[in-house]
Amino acid sequence: MKKKLCFMLLYLLLTAHAGAVNAQGAAVIDADTGAVLFEQNADSRLPMASTTKIMTALVAISEGNLDRTYQVKKEYTQVEGSSMYLREGEKITLRDTLYGLLLESGNDAAVAVAGECGGFDAFIEKMNAKAEELGLKDTHFDNPNGLDSETHYTTAHELAIITAAAMQDPTFRQIVSTRNYKAGEHVMSNHNRLLSMYDDAIGVKTGFTKRSGRCLVSAAERNGRTLIAVTLSDPDDWNDHMAMLNNGFSQYEEVTLHRAGDVVGERTVFGGDMDKVPLIAQSTVKAYLTKDEREKLKSVQLGDNICYAPVVRTALAGQIEYRLDDRVLAQDNVLFGGASLLPPEEKSLPERILERLFGKG
């Protein structure tokens, strides 16, 4: 009882903190389902500073050919603000430039990426087209680096959606989870302190200008669930993100969907000594679900509806999937839980007479 009370108090404290974050805009979503777990002024248009570079990277990665080498142009090096310190004339791959973009938050890297992926103006069009493709209504990009502009904005919720899309790409996930990286003479360190402050953190990006204030997007993974947290203009973003993520994860509970050996259905059998055979689960399957997900979760069995004898006990019969809308949250093999054998072959009349007379076939 005491343990349960302590847990409830901790939950209330985390919830209270998450409900009082210092950000002008904040949101936490499930990266896979898009479900909103927390929001505070999440739909207000706000500047996003260098968290812009999440979209920059997403568009660049979709262009492909990241290992091609290009020569740095002078205009790439003449950008104000944070830098990965590209040098005019040096040769570097687009992949290494993306590390400079996301770890060092290089504004020069952002301009280089845009320049090498179709040109600055064309690249900005691609960024805005991607936002439209994701169904975003309150996001607009004027540049690839996040420098202040009146028509360069997003919302906490929509930035979380952009990040969820980016985190689906393994290259992006690898880069934003990297703490240190070296490319030639470029030695880079990830500015995202949550990677060392929060055990479950796996990315993604910081940002700051005087106009935008401190902006932070983080991602964390626990028990197979990935959450995205966003704060825009938050002077206490590190602490707020840890509280927001903890509060988000506290909304999931471990649920046993079935245990090994549980009967999960039956199969009609033709031509055997048994017309129906039970189907059993091969393994115990658990998942971490919100209350809303538990109510919406559906199970679907994959395999033939009928089969023909002989059926052998414990042979593979198909699969069972637990789905939330179109997403598979968990799955397991389904085995035959019984046997259905072929009936003895009927003997001919002469064979039956001989057997009766002599006791053999």
What is the C-alpha to C-alpha distance for residues 324 and 296, in angstroms, rounded to an integer? Answer: 6
Confidence (pLDDT) at 4:
44
Confidence (pLDDT) at 228:
98
* Percent of the chain surpassing pLDDT 70: 92
pLDDT tens track for 215-230: 999 999 999 999 999 9
pLDDT > 60? residue 13: no
**Would you call 44 a catalytic residue per the annotation?**
no
Q: Which CATH class is domain 18-251?
A: alpha beta
CATH topology for 255-336? Peptidoglycan synthesis regulatory factor (PBP3), Domain 2 (2.60.410)
**Would you call 91 a catalytic residue per the annotation?**
no
pLDDT band at 131 (very low <50, low <70, confident <90, very high): very high
List 50, 82, 212, 218, catalytic entry: 50
**Would you call 291 a catalytic residue per the annotation?**
no
Residue with the bigger pLDDT between 5 and 329: it is 329
pLDDT tens track for 37-85: 999 999 999 999 999 999 999 999 998 899 999 999 999 999 999 999 9
List 4, 83, 105, 250, catalytic entry: 105
pLDDT > 70? residue 6: no
Residues of the chain within CATH 3.40.710.10 domain(s) are 18-251
pLDDT > 90? residue 18: no
Residues of the chain within CATH 2.60.410.10 domain(s) are 255-336
Nearest to 85 by CA among 210, 205, 200, 186: 186
CB atoms within 10 A of CB 319: 15
pLDDT tens track for 294-325: 999 999 999 888 889 999 999 999 999 999 88
pLDDT band at 343 (very low <50, low <70, confident <90, very high): confident
Q: Two tokens at 213?
A: 């204030």
Is-contact 189 206, C-beta < 8 A?
no
List 2, 3, 44, 53, catalytic entry: 53
Confidence (pLDDT) at 360:
57
Angle at 162 between CA 157 and CA 166, to 5 degrees: 145
What is the C-alpha to C-alpha distance for residues 360 and 169, in angstroms, rounded to an integer? Answer: 71
